[in-house]
Amino acid sequence: MTLKNRLGKFIVISGPSGVGKGTICNILLSKKENNLSYSISMTTRKKRIYEKNGVDYYFTSRDNFKKRILNNEFLEYNLYNKEYYGTLKTEVLDKINKGINVISELDVNGAKKIKNNFKDCILIYITAPNIEELRRRLIKRGTENKEEIEQRLKIAIYEEKEKINYDYVIMNDNLEIAIGKIQIIIKNFLIDK
């Protein structure tokens, strides 16, 4: 395959809430040699104070989200902690066809669906040393109340069981080391074969 008609590849980052997926994605996106474009998901959950609509997510109502489901606008969508999250076809397909590599943060169910639909896809799961550490990070982040944190930690226990389905599992107890490992994985994945 020549570079001209090379399709973009799909990189999926998953992991429990508070593990540092956002930070890791931002660092990977800032490295121009990766030629990565972030797939901005749509969600019905409330915007956090530091988030920007159209940058971190497309924030929308449940009605609008459901309309888009009926219009078949999602590559995949899922309920996480009673809120909808979905990958819009418009965020991915054009880029892949133009040879741009796409990176996306998805929950474990979304990751499975993408793996089934894209041949050139890699799934990377980020994990933390233990649940206590995740709790500490979520409390420090301060974006969810106590009850929401506990709900997210419950989901984390389920997610950890699903990590066996991933191509790679990376421990994020030291950000620099984790990034180094992920960068090697991505570099190898993006090399044209």
Report helix angle 175-190 to 21-30, nearest 10: 50
Residue 101 main-chain phi, psi, to 5 deg: -80, 135
What is the per-residue binding string for ligand 5GP in 29-68, x denoting contact by CB under 6 A? ------------x---x-----------------------
Q: Is 78 in the site for ligand 5GP (CB under 6 A)?
A: yes
Q: Binding segment for ligand 5GP among 61-69, 101-109, 172-180, 182-190 (CB under 6 A)?
A: 101-109
Q: Binding segment for ligand 5GP among 74-82, 129-137, 164-172, 184-192 (CB under 6 A)?
A: 74-82
Q: Where are the beta strands (DSSP E) in the chain?
A: 10-14, 36-38, 41-43, 57-59, 74-80, 83-88, 101-105, 121-127, 168-171
Cβ atoms 105, 25 nearer than 8 A = yes
Q: Is 80 in the site for ligand 5GP (CB under 6 A)?
A: yes
Q: Is 20 in the site for ligand 5GP (CB under 6 A)?
A: no
Residues that bind ligand 5GP (CB under 6 A): 14, 17, 41, 45, 76, 78, 80, 85-87, 105-107, 109-110
